[in-house]
Amino acid sequence: MNEILTELMAGYEVSLETFSHLPDLVLICVILGLLWVSKKIYDFFTPYELEYQLVKADNKAVTISFVGYLAGVVVILEGVLHGDSISLINDIISVLVWGVIGILLLNLAGIINDKLILHRFNNKLELVENHNVAVATVIAGTYFGSGIIIRSIIIGDSTGWVLDIGLTVLYFLLAQLTFYLYSLLYQIITKYNFHHEIQENNVAAGIALGSNLVAVGILLSIPLQMSYSLIFYFTWFIIGSSLLAFFRFIMDHTIIPMEKLDEEIHKDQNWGIAILEGCFSIAAIFIMQALFT
């Protein structure tokens, strides 16, 4: 009899433990709903039919850019789940509000980056008509890097709903500006015109720039999580950008001393080397983070 009671009590405890995860299951459903919403918002901001391009047209360029967008959305939604739980209703409201804000900002980032970083040609035309994978990799990098930035702004300390939203928009715009400034710096340190190479569907050039923009997204996310100080933010950006340029120089002269990095990307269109450059850039930011935070 005692054994039966023990088994019943154990089953009862397991049942209670299962119900204790119910709020998490509800939030997972909310997140899945927001993923669907993010796709609808993406459809609204793009002049082409996404599903037709993905399935019927078999457009790899649109697929790559959309994957970068989804990666940015997932990073943002992971960020909105951070913070202490007060109640299930409060958590749902917070996730919904900040999830929608984050998704809208990511779509705005896509528009801004199209107009600033790749401003010398029509990005949508390159994606839809020319199936330009190089353009797609840059766009994917801007989405993912911007998603990392937006996440870091959202998970900062709360100062009240109104001020939180205002600061989020302000620092988002500031981050997009510095995102663009880095693209100008990247053009200076490279010996080829990345606009021309990317428009000509040089995938290596697209991967190199796109992965560097992801690295910059990680770079900018660090001060945004730590402080509201503009001095600290711009100091961090200057040091980080200099470190990225230095690591690129070191890679060029130590890892592949037989060939020039720019020649490999520009003339040989070696996308393997472009991936290596991107990895070095991201590694530089992680090293900087470990040393200075």
CA atoms within 13 A on the CB side of 172: 27
- Residue 178 and residue 237 in contact, taking contact as beta carbons nearer than 8 Å: yes
Whole-angstrom distance, CA of residue 110 vs CA of residue 216: 16
SS3 103: helix
The reported pLDDT for the residue numbered 18 is 46
User: Is pLDDT above 60 for 4?
Assistant: no
Q: Binning pLDDT at 50, 70 and 90, where does residue 17 land?
A: very low
Whole-angstrom distance, CA of residue 94 vs CA of residue 44: 24
Mean pLDDT for the stretch of residues 48-77:
94
User: Is pLDDT above 60 for 97?
Assistant: yes
Percent of the chain with pLDDT over 90: 61
Q: Is the pTM of this model over 0.75?
A: yes
The reported pLDDT for the residue numbered 258 is 84
Q: For 101-141, what is each residue's pLDDT tens digit? A: 999 999 999 999 998 998 888 899 999 999 999 999 999 99
Q: Binning pLDDT at 50, 70 and 90, where does residue 80 land?
A: confident
Indicate the domain borders of the chain. Answer: 22-292
The reported pLDDT for the residue numbered 13 is 46
Q: Is 121 exposed, middle or buried (0-12, 13-18, 19+ CB in 10 A)?
A: middle
Whole-angstrom distance, CA of residue 84 vs CA of residue 71: 24
Mean pLDDT for the stretch of residues 6-19:
46
Whole-angstrom distance, CA of residue 187 vs CA of residue 26: 46
Residue type, 143: Y
Which single residue is written with the structure tokens 């002049």? 47
Mean pLDDT for the stretch of residues 91-96:
87
